[in-house]
Amino acid sequence: MSHSISFEFLIDLFESTLIDRAKILQRLGLKSVKDFDQSLNFSLALRLTQTTQHQYIVQTSTLENSLSYLFSPFINSILNQKTVYIAPRQNIVERVYSEYFRLDALDLNKRQILLEMDLDLDLVSAAFNPTEFQFYALAKALLDPNCQHIFFIGQSSLDDDIKKQIVKTVKINIDDIEVMQGSIDVSQIDFKKLFWKKKSVEIAELCRSISHANAPLISQQFNLKLSDAERLIDDLMYSEHLLEKLSVFGEFTETIFKHAFKSEQEVYS
């Protein structure tokens, strides 16, 4: 592997004075920069032989006006794309996701969730500033030997030459997806009915905006025309595939939480 890609190389792509190295390493489960660089080399060696592929979706833009992307990992997983979704843990994220599943179960068994549900939701606390968030997301993706593609929803901090260098060195494609903004009053949405087959006029309009926003992402992954990608997502909205996925994911996270709670009780009993 080229020595040009390392922890220090990556951190120099950002405003390094804004990044707490220890905080990043701790969240990545690593003790030192040396451990990071060794893991990066190991990841590249493994990536060349992997058959399972992970898609990374990084939400770099604010979610307040781009609610549609909260459902991107679920759309991906229905289409058999194992997906890691990394987003800031904002109020809107907790408000929407808590309608469908237990947020406090997401960090309990990530490997099992990704293996069985084809998705991993990594919600990063507000203790990470925007620069730290982007650096962490990029670092996590590069350390995953199964990662084949990183999609930044919104603008990444990487220029085209840097992207090309990363692609050439670590064999991971990187693309920015332009955010399609929309004014959404979350308090007026009945999320339990959002993906029902029969929809009100307001809900149908929201589903159209979700399909439209996610079309570029699906278009790039499956090499589809934008119109075909949008139609595919729209079909998922009305066939109740998304509703079923969210329901199963909710049951799965509930089971994981109860198992972890039971195990903790046994330890202290």
Residue 5's pLDDT is 86
CA distance 19 to 21: 6
Domain 7-268 sits in CATH at 3.40.1030
- Cα separation, 33 vs 25, whole angstroms: 8
Per-residue pLDDT tens for 56-78? 999 987 666 568 899 999 999 99
Residue 48: CA count within 13 A, CB half-sphere:
9
Is the pLDDT confidence value at 169 over 70? yes
159, pLDDT greater than 50: yes
- Per the prediction, the chain carries an average pLDDT of 89
Under 8 Å between Cβ of 143 and 28: yes
What Rg do the C-alpha atoms of the chain give, in angstroms?
19
Distance separating alpha carbons of residues 20 and 268, to the nearest angstrom? 35
Domain layout of the chain by residue ranges: 7-268
Judged against a pLDDT cut of 50, whether residue 48 lies above it is answered with yes
Chain mean position to CA 77:
11
**What percent of the chain is predicted at pLDDT more than 70?**
91
Kindly indicate the confidence band of residue 108, based on its pLDDT and cuts at 50, 70 and 90: confident
For residue range 201-258, list pLDDT tens digits in order.
989 999 999 999 999 999 999 999 999 999 999 999 999 899 999 999 999 999 988 8
Per DSSP, 223 falls in state T
> Among residues of the chain, what percentage have pLDDT more than 90?
67
**What tokens does 139 get?**
């670092």
Per DSSP, the three-state class of 87 is: strand
Q: How confident is the model at residue 115 (pLDDT cuts 50, 70, 90)?
A: confident
